[in-house]
Amino acid sequence: MQDEPAHMVWFIKRGAIALTRLLPESDGKEHVESIRGAGSFVGLEALVRPTYTHQAHALWATTLCGATKDTADAWLGAAGSPARTALEQVLHMMAGEAPRTAGTDGSAVRRVARWICDEALDGVAPPIPRRTVASLLGMTPETFSRALAQLARERIVHLTRKHLSVIDDRALRRLAGRSTALTAMP
């Protein structure tokens, strides 16, 4: 939980975690800042600060492998080594950054098209709740749904309540302002 004592670091073995932040001006609403999938870490700020910077929410069945801060410190090696110093500087920078705002350049349809291009594995978007993606993109769930509906009407994506797949990769990439074909992420 955000601002709670940071004492563990987790590796995501399976599933996905949404990292959210409660912002003072948000009246208690959480802002989704990023989504981390299998092969990513959550809680690395525990290595450089006393509290967590985000709240972590599993988006579906997720398997994590955790280590205490002391175990992670021992695994990383002696303090002061060049690699450890570089890692700590990156972690300080990431933990100290002000909350990022979602990329709000372009229309809602363009932002949704970019998200699909970035996240679709083999042309299939991950099963992330629409409310979560809308927050990540800086729009209301209703605006996100309207943008998806437009892409479906134009036969660029196939959309059901729980599934989104790309039908016309070229049109999607053109809307997103991208030029290369969709590729699967590692």
Average pLDDT estimate for 66-78:
89
Under a CB-based contact definition with an 8 Å cutoff, are residues 8 and 56 in contact?
A: no
Q: Is 141 part of a structural domain of the chain?
A: yes
Number of domains making up the chain = 2
Instruction: Name the residue range of residue 136's domain.
Output: 108-176
Q: Is 159 part of a structural domain of the chain?
A: yes
Predicted confidence at residue 120, as pLDDT, reads 83
Q: What is the CATH number of the domain that holds 41?
A: 2.60.120.10
* 127 in the same domain as 76: no
Residue 27 pLDDT exceeds 60: yes
* 156 in the same domain as 77: no
Q: Count Cβ atoms below 10 Å from residue 70 Cβ, excluding itself.
A: 9
Q: Is 102 part of a structural domain of the chain?
A: no
Q: Using CA atoms, how far apart are residues 111 and 174, in angstroms rounded to an integer?
A: 12
Q: What is the CATH number of the domain that holds 150?
A: 1.10.10.10
Q: Is 184 part of a structural domain of the chain?
A: no
37-54: per-residue pLDDT in tens? 999 999 988 888 888 888
- Model confidence band, residue 126 (pLDDT cutoffs 50, 70, 90): confident
* 114 in the same domain as 169: yes
* 45 in the same domain as 23: yes
Predicted confidence at residue 12, as pLDDT, reads 95
Q: Is 183 part of a structural domain of the chain?
A: no
Q: Is 143 part of a structural domain of the chain?
A: yes
* 91 in the same domain as 112: no
* 87 in the same domain as 16: yes
Q: Using CA atoms, how far apart are residues 136 and 138, in angstroms rounded to an integer?
A: 6
Least confident interval from 1-15, 89-103, 113-127: 89-103
Predicted confidence at residue 181, as pLDDT, reads 47
Residue 184 pLDDT exceeds 50: no
Backbone angles phi, psi at 180, to 5 degrees: -95, 165
Encode the chain in three state secondary structure.
Answer: CCCCECCEEEEEEECEEEEEEECHHHCCCEEEEEEEECCCEECHHHHCCCECCCEEEECCCCEEEEEEHHHHHHHHCCCCCHHHHHHHHHHHHHHHCCCCCCCCCCCHHHHHHHHHHHHCECCECCCCCHHHHHHHCCCCHHHHHHHHHHHHHCCCEEECCCCEEECCHHHHHHHHCCCCCCCCCC
Residue 102 or residue 1, greater confidence: 1
**How much is the pTM?**
0.63
Q: Using CA atoms, how far apart are residues 37 and 58, in angstroms rounded to an integer?
A: 10
Q: Using CA atoms, how far apart are residues 136 and 126, in angstroms rounded to an integer?
A: 14
Q: Using CA atoms, how far apart are residues 138 and 4, in angstroms rounded to an integer?
A: 26
Looking at the DSSP assignment, which residues form a beta bridge with residue 12?
A: 64
